[in-house]
Chains A and B, each alone.
Chain A
Amino acid sequence: MFIEFTFVVNGYNLKKSTISVTYTAVDETLGLKPHIIQQLGVERDILPSYQAGEMTVDVLKEVLRKAIIGAGSRAQYEWNIEIATRGADMPAELVPLFGIEWEAVTEAEVTGNTEVII
């Protein structure tokens, strides 16, 4: 489901052309933590272009807003997983997995993909 959100731009990293953004769900009753993207990539020439007078502050804001809203899909994704899994009981068959030492980790496991199918 789409979760309406607000955002705050925490800062701009000139060296890396990234911005730090905090996304916050509007509906506080959902109990969702703010989602932070520390290094959201934006075009390298945006700020220089603005400083050179090639775009107005309104255009700059529009460009950044578009990039921030686009990356908001990550917050939506994480929040929806949080909502979907909230309150779920731990299956009984998984309980024995805890509190014991698992099999030794091999080099192949470290270098290979470890996607978990859910």
Chain B
Amino acid sequence: MAIQTSGAITLSDIQTEFGGSNPISLSEYYAGGLYVPSGTSGTNGAVPASGEIAVSDFYGTQSSFVCTITEGTYSDPQGSSRGYLKAVTTNVTLVVNNIQPHGSRTPTSLSGVSLDGFTVARDTKGNNTSFYFVTDAGTTTARSQTVFTSLEVEGGGTLNLASADYFRAATAVLNGNVWRWDISSTVSTAWPTWDGSGTRTVTINE
């Protein structure tokens, strides 16, 4: 969750967002340092990488978190999936029914949210391709729309929460929370690295 865009903020607010330990020194929070990613910006522009730095530089900034996916594949006559997906056998929101688990991810959770799917899936019948982000697979846990604000997918660009289709199953036999982006128009050119092998990173902007 981003730091507020105005009003009083403290060093503790910055530590809560970006991590770190006490005692808190603002000099620990230069962009490109131990805690704040390079290029981080907020309401007042970019967080400095050196020189003068102020608490106000952190208005509207947010933390990010890198998850690593070891890609796997699954396919059947209905479609195919490349990336990571936890076992979801009756997932009606994904294009491939009876999909089998494939791939893996590190870490398995973020702030208590189980990270259960990062996959490029193609629907053979509809001939469309989507990127799926799944949490809480196999549960009825409903996540608010504050788990993330955007995903930066290696080889695929930035996917914003605001433009995702969101699904949440109401029964325990189905999946938990699914966000879907239609990438049919860019998959052939912008997503070639998601080929079912090797590792990919996804940066989760909180």
Are B107 and A44 within 8 A (Cβ)? yes
Residues of B within 8 A of A115 (CB): 156-158, 183, 186, 190
Residues of A within 8 A of B190 (CB): 115-118
Q: Say yes or no for B78: interface residue by CB 8 A criterion.
A: no
Are B68 and A71 within 8 A (Cβ)? yes
Chain B binder among A6-14, A24-32, A91-99 = A6-14
Q: Say yes or no for A106: interface residue by CB 8 A criterion.
A: no
**Chain B interface size range:** 35 or more
Q: With the chains together, A40 CA to B68 CA distance in Å?
A: 8
Are A112 and B163 within 8 A (Cβ)? yes
Given A38-B34, A44-B107, A18-B65 contact (CB < 8 Å): yes
Given A16-B65, A70-B106, A74-B201, A38-B154 contact (CB < 8 Å): no
Q: Say yes or no for A49: interface residue by CB 8 A criterion.
A: no
Are A40 and B109 within 8 A (Cβ)? no
Task: Tell me if A's interface is mostly helix, strand, loop or mixed.
Answer: mixed
Q: Say yes or no for B74: interface residue by CB 8 A criterion.
A: no
Given A17-B107, A41-B67, A73-B198 contact (CB < 8 Å): yes
- Shortest A66–chain B CB gap in Å is 8
Q: Which of A15, A17, A39, A66 has the most CB of B within 10 A?
A: A39
Are B159 and A113 within 8 A (Cβ)? yes
Q: With the chains together, A116 CA to B181 CA distance in Å?
A: 15
Question: For chain A residues 64-118, which have a beta carbon within 8 Å of chain B?
Answer: 66-67, 70-74, 77, 111-118
Question: For chain B residues 93-109, which have a beta carbon within 8 Å of chain A?
Answer: 106-109
Residues of A within 8 A of B159 (CB): 113
- Shortest B84–chain A CB gap in Å is 12
- Shortest A43–chain B CB gap in Å is 5
Q: With the chains together, A73 CA to B156 CA distance in Å?
A: 13
Q: With the chains together, A118 CA to B193 CA distance in Å?
A: 13
Among A37, A72, A73, A111, which residue has its beta carbon within 8 angstroms of that of B163? A111
Q: Which chain B residue shows the least CB distance to A69?
A: B199
Question: For chain B residues 183-205, which have a beta carbon within 8 Å of chain A?
Answer: 183, 186, 189-190, 193, 198-201
Q: Which chain B residue shows the least CB distance to A16?
A: B19
Task: Please list the residues of chain B having a beta carbon within 8 angstroms of any beta carbon in chain A.
Answer: 15, 19-21, 32-38, 63-68, 70, 106-110, 154-160, 162-163, 181, 183, 186, 189-190, 193, 198-201
Given contacts A13-B20, A42-B106, A71-B68, 14 further A-B contacts (CB under 8 A): A16-B19, A38-B33, A38-B37, A38-B38, A41-B106, A41-B107, A70-B199, A73-B154, A111-B162, A112-B160, A113-B157, A113-B159, A115-B186, A116-B190
Q: List 7 A-B pairs, Cβ < 8 Å.
A: A18-B66, A71-B68, A72-B199, A73-B200, A74-B154, A74-B201, A113-B159
Listed from nearest, the 5 A-B pairs whose CB atoms lie closest are: A115-B157, A13-B19, A111-B162, A70-B68, A70-B199
